[in-house]
């Protein structure tokens, strides 16, 4: 497997010059070029058009330097050079507004999923720009690669067992203490997790690990780990199941965020909770109309077995809330409604904490990890009314699906000092700079920045 440290070289390494030139700066830059380079650029009609690449040869035919046009619209865009340049090491200079984003984009663009034999394309190496914290870039890139690997792996090789092993590997690497409650042992303390996962031959479980000093600020991460979702007895159509291997994307992103926190040695008391299940169909599957009693004591009527993620999260959030964390974050591939509202690239988040909301939005902009706030609109709780239980898990309205799902989860959080819910897609349907098609880390880097700044 490729080591990211072999792609992002230390700033002391040497590399062929790559000169980024903004289109508006071309005329000035052109005058500064050596005569032979200027003539070569003119002969090729190079005017620093966005994305245009011009290789310049030296007197012996060697690659002397590379001119690249840039419009600055996406700080990850220069990262695509890793696949278009010949093998070797390169040092980027010129119009680089965000050198740390250039370095991260290069690393993220270098990713490929090769578990099943598809040969990975070789990539060019980048000399880390001066002044950039190389270790911080590598931490973020390694976490993103891990998230992508987990999400891209099909459910045949990424069930609750394998997700537990992935969590154990992360916990073991940083000496975190991990416990797992599985199978029938869930029935008493985590009845909704058990009910959702019991129809699968792969036992449901709650993965729980903790790291850091007990007296540090408590940060708890909860990730939806539905390793495959058939929809249950309210079965999905074939088109709806096609990407359900990614329904554990919340758990994958939580593991990536936890790895970043521990690798950076942030001064927090970290706890990670992952309800890992498959929503399968069998004679003992939970049914529409069933009423479940949650860990918190709230009773839930099942309006739709395909709204299972909020059930397993409800029990996990209840446990997390009992510890009264300073910050409680949950991440889940929860609703299609979030995609309808904001598309696949912009995950919504929900919180009642204004300062936290501002911090998250600001961090997302700064680290090129965009997010968008949606409201906990309390009047929509009426859409979950049940005639036989405290609430329904789906209700009979198609309106405001992402908001109502967030409100459902909010019922299980009372004691946390701050809570934020992310409804992520965890997938890139069409490749963009730094974001190859496939599994994706979303909001992870923005959240790390918020936690890092609060922990210092």
How far, in Å, CA of 326 to CA of 329, rounded? 10
233-264 confidence digits (pLDDT tens): 999 999 999 999 999 999 999 999 999 999 99
- Cβ atoms 257, 184 nearer than 8 A: no
How far, in Å, CA of 67 to CA of 84, rounded? 13
356-376 confidence digits (pLDDT tens): 999 999 999 999 999 999 999
Judged against a pLDDT cut of 80, whether residue 395 lies above it is answered with no
Query: What is the reported pTM?
Result: 0.97
Cα within 13 Å of Cα(274), Cβ side: 35
Judged against a pLDDT cut of 90, whether residue 117 lies above it is answered with no
- pLDDT, average across residues 275-280: 98
Topology given in CATH for the domain delimited by 139-455: Aminopeptidase (3.40.630)
In the chain, domain spans? 4-132, 139-455
The continuous run of DSSP H or E covering 90 comes out as strand 89-94
Please give the mean pLDDT across all residues of the chain: 97
Position 1 scores a pLDDT of 59
165-202 confidence digits (pLDDT tens): 999 999 999 999 999 999 999 999 999 999 999 999 99
Structure tokens at 314: 């409800």
211 band by pLDDT with thresholds 50, 70 and 90? very high
Identical topology for domains 4-132 and 139-455? no
Residues with a known catalytic role: 236, 310
- Cβ atoms 274, 254 nearer than 8 A: yes
- pLDDT, average across residues 63-82: 95
Q: Which CATH number fits domain 4-132: 3.40.50.300, 3.30.70.360, 3.40.220.10, 3.20.20.110?
A: 3.40.220.10
How far, in Å, CA of 373 to CA of 422, rounded? 9
The continuous run of DSSP H or E covering 182 comes out as strand 177-182
Position 40 scores a pLDDT of 96
């Amino acid at each position: 497997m490729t080591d990211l440290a072999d792609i992002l070289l230390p700033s002391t390494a040497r590399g062929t010059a790559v000169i980024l030139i903004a289109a508006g700066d071309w005329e000035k830059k052109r005058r500064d070029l050596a005569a032979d380079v200027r003539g070569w650029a003119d002969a090729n009609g190079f005017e620093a058009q966005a994305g245009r690449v011009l290789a310049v040869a030296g007197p012996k035919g060697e690659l002397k330097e590379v001119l690249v046009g840039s419009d600055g619209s996406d700080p990850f865009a220069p990262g695509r050079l890793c696949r278009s340049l010949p093998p070797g090491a390169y040092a980027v200079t010129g119009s680089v507004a965000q050198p740390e984003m250039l370095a991260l984009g290069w690393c993220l663009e270098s990713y490929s999923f090769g578990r099943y034999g598809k040969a990975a394309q070789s990539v060019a190496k980048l000399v880390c720009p001066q002044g950039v914290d190389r270790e911080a870039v590598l931490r973020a890139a390694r976490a993103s690669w891990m998230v992508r690997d987990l999400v891209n792996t099909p459910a045949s090789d990424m069930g609750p067992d394998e997700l537990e092993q992935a969590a154990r590997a992360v916990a073991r690497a940083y000496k975190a203490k991990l416990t797992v409650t599985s199978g029938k042992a869930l029935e008493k303390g985590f009845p909704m997790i058990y009910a959702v996962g019991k129809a699968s031959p792969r036992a449901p479980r709650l993965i729980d690990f903790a790291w850091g000093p007990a007296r540090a600020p408590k940060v708890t991460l909860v990730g939806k780990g539905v390793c495959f979702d058939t929809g249950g007895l309210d079965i999905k159509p074939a088109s709806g199941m096609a990407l359900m291997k990614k329904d554990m994307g919340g758990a994958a992103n939580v593991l990536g965020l936890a790895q970043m926190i521990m690798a950076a040695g942030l001064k927090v008391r970290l706890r990670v909770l992952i309800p890992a299940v498959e929503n399968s169909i069998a004679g003992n599957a939970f049914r529409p109309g069933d009423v479940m009693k949650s860990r918190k004591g709230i009773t839930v009527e099942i309006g739709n077995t395909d709204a299972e993620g909020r059930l397993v999260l409800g029990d996990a959030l209840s446990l997390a809330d009992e510890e009264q964390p300073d910050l409680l974050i949950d991440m889940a591939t929860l609703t299609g409604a979030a995609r309808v509202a904001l598309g696949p690239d912009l995950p919504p988040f929900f919180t009642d904490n204004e300062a936290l909301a501002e911090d998250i939005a600001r961090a997302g902009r700064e680290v090129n990890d965009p997010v968008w706030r949606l409201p906990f609109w309390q009047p929509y709780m009426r859409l979950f009314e049940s005639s036989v239980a405290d609430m329904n898990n789906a209700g009979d309205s198609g309106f405001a699906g992402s908001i109502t799902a967030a409100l459902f989860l909010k019922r299980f959080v009372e004691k946390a000092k701050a809570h934020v819910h992310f409804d992520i897609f965890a997938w890139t349907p069409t490749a963009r700079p730094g974001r190859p098609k496939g599994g994706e880390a979303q909001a992870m880097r923005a959240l790390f920045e918020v936690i890092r700044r609060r922990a210092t």
